Structure 1
Amino acid sequence: MARIFITGSADGLGRLAAQTLLDDGHQVVLHARNHARLTAVSALIDRGAEAVTGDLSDPGPTRGVAEQVNALGPVDAVIHNAGVYTGARILPVNVVALYLLTALIRRPARLVYLSSGMHHGGRADVRGGDWAGLRATASYSDSKLFVTALAFAVARLWPGVSVNAVDPGWVPTKMGGPGAPDDLREGHRTQEWLATSDDPRARTTGGYWYHQQPREPHAAARDERFQDELVSELAAFTGTRLA
């Protein structure tokens, strides 16, 4: 039995992963933007899931989320699922919050970052990004390229942790829309597998996965100089360095 923290687990793939992990006997720590959003997962809380709250578009509440998780005790894995598709909050929610939570939550054995096949269309340029989200300076594709590069940077810097990025596919969630062609169950299976499985493949690090199969990411995500530029930018903006 593992203990897993899942960001953005009030709906969509995060909630589905939480439900499946609970069904499999694992302990789950849920996350919602605010207390009102917890009503959507009351059934999971009634089954024993714990919950934390905080708006990941703001570094202050994001730090609060990390503090809440640490106060509940160590977790074995974190699934960084939360994300937004449009608007000025793309960089704060999709990238800055992941970086801060990675740096501040007591280090788990496994980290899983939700990327997207759209990261292949991202721009490998961190200059001029408005990390505070006061204006829109990056696309969803850009943010997911940053997420993928961040995952590989953490895998390189923390060799004792299993760190992987996942493309869940284009699935019929609120973000993906009802006409999305991919399999909804496959959209969260890989995250669960990477977070809990004893399969030797699931215990590797530095991978980019689609439906439990390795895929080749954007070449820039593997570029250590780009990774270091991204981590440096995020450290400077947040005032927090990766240990």
Structure 2
Amino acid sequence: MAYIFITGSADGLGRAAARTLMDEGHDVVLHARTPGRAADLADLAAHAAGIVTGDLGSADETRALASQVNGIGRMDAVIHNAGIFLEPTRATTPEGHARTLAVNTLAPYLLTALMDRPERLIYLSSGMHRGAGDSLDDMDWTARRWNPSQAYSESKLYVTTLALALAHRWPHVLVHAVDPGWVPTKMGGPGAPDDLELGHLTQTWLAVSKEPAAMVSGGYWHHRQRHIPAPEALDPGFQDRLLHRLAELTGVEAS
């Protein structure tokens, strides 16, 4: 039995992952953006190890969320599932960051830095990360004209690179990135062609499995098959530069 925290578990892939792990007998800490959204977890609440709330688009709420989880106890695994897709405009956070960057990259980084270190970390990526390029200039889209697809692709390259950087730097933690595919969730839309079931089973497997493949850190996965990510994500120099910029943007170092 393991304690597992899943961000964005009120619906979609996060909810499916939570239900699967709870059905397997694990203790799952659920997360919703607001208390109102937490009401959507009523059917799972009786079997959950806890429910925490916090908007990942706010640095203050993300910090408070880390404290809530630490108050429950050290997790065995954390699945950084929450994310947002194509925002038509540069929506901003209370701190002035682009919300796409904040939710998809800065929040997983902050939670990783501030929570008690688990044995396993899983970050949700996307195949679109391969179209991001290798520039860290204007990560926050303060100078460029907003491009929803490019902003999303970059945010997923950053979180993929974060995962692989931590796999190298934290040898006692199993760290992976997962591309769940384009699945028919609220974010992916009803016409998404990929398999919703396969979309969440890779991260649940990586969170608890003792199979040899799951015990080798630093993987980039799609449907339980290990793939090669964008070369930038594997580049130690790019990893170092990204971690430096994330520390600058958040004021927190993941040491």
Q: TM-score range by the shorter chain?
A: over 0.9
* Structure-1 residue corresponding to 2:128: 118
Deviation at 1:131, TM superposition (A): 7.9
* Structure-1 residue corresponding to 2:60: 60
Q: How does 1:169-180 map to 2 (within 5 A)?
A: 169-180=181-192
Post-superposition CA distance 1:61-84 (Å, at most 9, x none): 000010000000110000000100
Report how many residues are paired: 241
**Structure 1 stretches lacking a partner, 5+ long:** none
* Structure-1 residue corresponding to 2:243: 231
Deviation at 1:239, TM superposition (A): 1.2
User: Relative to 1, partners in 2 of residues 1:112 and 1:142: Cα closer, same or farther, differing over 3 Å?
Assistant: same
* Structure-1 residue corresponding to 2:137: 127
User: 1:67 touches 1:105 (CA, 8 Å); kept in 2?
Assistant: yes
2 CA distance for matches of 1:52 and 1:126? Answer: 32
2 CA distance for matches of 1:184 and 1:231? Answer: 32
1 CA distance for matches of 2:59 and 2:241? Answer: 20
2 CA distance for matches of 1:136 and 1:16? Answer: 32
SS of alignment partner, residue 240 of structure 2: helix
Letter of the structure 2 residue corresponding to residue 175 of structure 1:
M
* Structure-1 residue corresponding to 2:94: none
SS of alignment partner, residue 139 of structure 1: helix
Greater shift, 58-67 or 48-57, is seen at: 48-57
* Structure-2 residue corresponding to 1:15: 15
Q: How does 1:1-243 map to 2 (within 5 A)?
A: 1-87=1-87, 88=90, 89-130=99-140, 136=146, 139-243=151-255
SS of alignment partner, residue 185 of structure 1: helix
User: 2:84 touches 2:104 (CA, 8 Å); kept in 1?
Assistant: yes
User: 1:131 touches 1:237 (CA, 8 Å); kept in 2?
Assistant: no
Deviation at 1:86, TM superposition (A): 2.3
The percentage of aligned residue pairs carrying the same residue is 57
2 CA distance for matches of 1:179 and 1:140? Answer: 19
Letter of the structure 2 residue corresponding to residue 116 of structure 1:
S
User: 1:150 touches 1:231 (CA, 8 Å); kept in 2?
Assistant: yes
Letter of the structure 1 residue corresponding to residue 125 of structure 2:
S
Q: Note the aligned Cα RMSD (angstroms).
A: 1.4
User: 1:96 touches 1:131 (CA, 8 Å); kept in 2?
Assistant: no
Runs of 4+ in 1 over 4 A off after TM superposition: 135-138
1 CA distance for matches of 2:40 and 2:162? Answer: 30
Deviation at 1:48, TM superposition (A): 3.1
Q: Taking structure 2 as the reference length, what is the TM-score of the superposition?
A: 0.91
SS of alignment partner, residue 112 of structure 1: strand
Greater shift, 121-130 or 24-33, is seen at: 121-130
Deviation at 1:10, TM superposition (A): 0.7
User: 2:29 touches 2:48 (CA, 8 Å); kept in 1?
Assistant: no
* Structure-1 residue corresponding to 2:96: none
**Structure 2 stretches lacking a partner, 5+ long:** 91-98
1 CA distance for matches of 2:141 and 2:117? Answer: 24
Q: Taking structure 1 as the reference length, what is the TM-score of the superposition?
A: 0.96
Letter of the structure 2 residue corresponding to residue 40 of structure 1:
D
Deviation at 1:136, TM superposition (A): 4.7
User: 1:30 touches 1:52 (CA, 8 Å); kept in 2?
Assistant: yes
Deviation at 1:123, TM superposition (A): 2.4
Deviation at 1:173, TM superposition (A): 0.6
User: 2:165 touches 2:239 (CA, 8 Å); kept in 1?
Assistant: yes
User: 1:145 touches 1:221 (CA, 8 Å); kept in 2?
Assistant: yes
